[in-house]
Amino acid sequence: MVKVLINGYGSIGKRVADAVAMQKDMEVLGVTKTKPDFEARLAVEKGYKLYAAIPERKPLFEEKGIEIEGTIFDVIEEADIVVDCTPGGVGKDNLKMYKEYKVKAILQGGEKAQYVEDNFNALWSYDRCYGKDYIRVVSCNTTGLCRILYAINSVTDIVKVRAVLVRRGADPNDVKKGPINGIVPNPPTLPSHHGPDVVSVIPELEGKIFTSAVVVPTTLMHMHIIMVETTGTTRDNIIESIEKTPRIITVSAEEGLNSTAAIIEFARDLGRMRYDLNEIAVWEESINVVDNEVFLMQAIHQESDVIPENIDCIRSMLEMVDDKMKSIEMTNKAMGLLK
Ligand code: NAD
């Protein structure tokens, strides 16, 4: 059993901890918190060993009666790998600590690609990241784009990718971000940074992918409108390939899954913890091919699509399973994904 330390127990961190706990070949060594809040209390109630991420704050947990084992420095040497789930920008500062303690670490999509050895998506770069020490699991949007491009690339050659990202304004627990009454071009410059982020995983797309993004007043999911020029394919080929690609499902507007709200209701009806949908949902009706150009729309559950990727990234970096599809299957089965 490999020992995984989760540094930063927020939206991504708590999901990574639960996903690690579900696997047969890894265990949660501990989780860290900066504040003695309800998440810290619940982490302990769930049975996770809690450590103060900032040593001076350890007494604050004790004052609140939250059981704390020590500080991150009491546990870091025992870890086989740290999954850093701190807010964007903090992970790169933490890299110094991971290197000093000679522990492997995974950073998240809020960090820049330049600080790590490579960038992870299970379908595209599992083999490249095998045995590496410092890797970034790319963002929720980049993960969604990489998955669908894998499905398309499996049946044809990609000439050019255009994608419009309609991004959620904030996560559901966030009262500080917006907008609440407008549509914000973000970034206002074109193309957006999302294309280069995809290239960090798929270098073959350099100069071939152009993205733009707006932020809208919703918290549930992102949506992507995607146009991919290919050397030739058919709608049936694309549908068949999507069906074969793990972690992408098709949904039917006609059947009532006609909005991100309905898709989240679907996840709730599936009984998913925190209504997570780790799979990307592609609208069946949207899939079209005109003059060799593929068109489709997909929904991305921002808080959860990267979670199974973190699990596969652990297996790749620690050389636990040498076949990406085997790791994907193990993760999916343990987490109860649809495919
Ligand atoms: P979050 O704010 O929900 O959680 C971050 C946690 O880290 C909080 O509990 C915070 O208290 C803690 N923290 C802050 N400073 C710390 C430190 N120095 N040491 C340890 N813990 C610290 O953030 P999140 O949404 O979980 O995002 C984490 C990372 O995942 C970011 O890089 C983000 O860009 C990326 N990401 C987020 C989403 C999303 O939709 N939420 C999706 C994909 C990737």
- Return the SS3 of 78: helix
Query: Which pLDDT score is estimated for 286?
Result: 98
pLDDT digits over 155-169, tens only? 999 999 999 999 999
What's the CA gap between 289 and 336, in Å, rounded? 32
- Which pLDDT tens digit goes with each residue over 240-297? 999 999 999 999 999 999 999 999 999 999 999 999 999 999 999 999 999 999 999 9
Segment 77-93 mean pLDDT = 98
First to last CA, the chain: 25
* CATH, range 141-300: 3.30.360.10
**Which pLDDT tens digit goes with each residue over 177-232?**
999 999 999 999 999 999 999 999 999 999 999 999 999 999 999 999 999 999 99
Report the mean per-residue pLDDT for the chain. 98
Residues lining ligand 1, Cβ inside 6 A: 7-13, 32, 34-35, 53, 85-88, 90, 108-111, 139-140, 171, 302-303, 306
**Atom number of ligand 1 nearest to Cα 93:** 18
C-alpha of residue 294 to centroid of ligand 1, in Å? 35
Note the pLDDT of residue 264: 98
- The yes-or-no answer on residue 129 being catalytic is no
Q: In the structure encoding, which two tokens stand for residue 300, read together?
A: 């991305």
| Binding-site residues for NAD(+) | 11-12, 110, 168, 302
pLDDT computed for residue 272 by the predictor: 98
Question: CB burial class (10 A; 0-12, 13-18, 19+) of residue 85?
Answer: buried
Give the single-character DSSP code of 286. Answer: G
177: which 2 tokens?
Answer: 């971000």
Domain ranges of the chain: 2-138+306-335, 141-300
pLDDT value, residue 3: 98
What Rg do the C-alpha atoms of the chain give, in angstroms? 20
- Indicate the CATH number for domain 2-138+306-335: 3.40.50.720
- Which pLDDT score is estimated for 102? 98
Grade residue 124 by pLDDT with cuts at 50, 70 and 90.
very high
What's the whole-number mean pLDDT along residues 168-178?
A: 97
